[in-house]
Amino acid sequence: MNQARRDVFQAISDPTRREIIHLLARRTLNLNNVADHFTISRPAVAKHIRILTECGLVTVQTRGRETFCQADLKGLKQVSEWANTYQEFWNDKLDALERFLDEDPSDENR
């Protein structure tokens, strides 16, 4: 659990980490506040947060005895772009133009 350069795809593969991301996207929390949302132990949550920091999705900032965890999810752009590369597989009426226009975030389906 000490990979120097962590891959963002690997980081988001764990559902607990995705939930941590969801939590921190709302607001910054200290470590215990994050851990309170889960049934797993506080050290387990700390390990997940370390993984998230290793790929840049979370930054931590110590103030006093507290460690504040903040989401910085620019790295998810890479994930979105990668998945959208294959948009034609779920977007039936594809022509090149529409595919180009759909690059803009106005997807309202579902």
Partner DNA sequence: TTTTTTGGAAACCGTTTGGTTTCATTTATA
Partner DNA sequence: TATAAATGAAACCAAACGGTTTCCAAAAAA
Query: For binding to a second copy (CB under 8 A), which residues are involved?
Result: 7, 9-10, 12-15, 18-19, 21-23, 25-26, 37-39, 71-74, 76-77, 79-87, 89-91, 99, 103, 105, 107-110
What distance in Å separates the CA atoms of residue 57 and residue 48, rounded to the nearest whole number? 11
What distance in Å separates the CA atoms of residue 69 and residue 34, rounded to the nearest whole number? 9
80 contributes a contact to DNA by CB under 7 A: no
Element (H, E) at 9: helix 8-11
98 contributes a contact to DNA by CB under 7 A: no
31 contributes a contact to DNA by CB under 7 A: yes
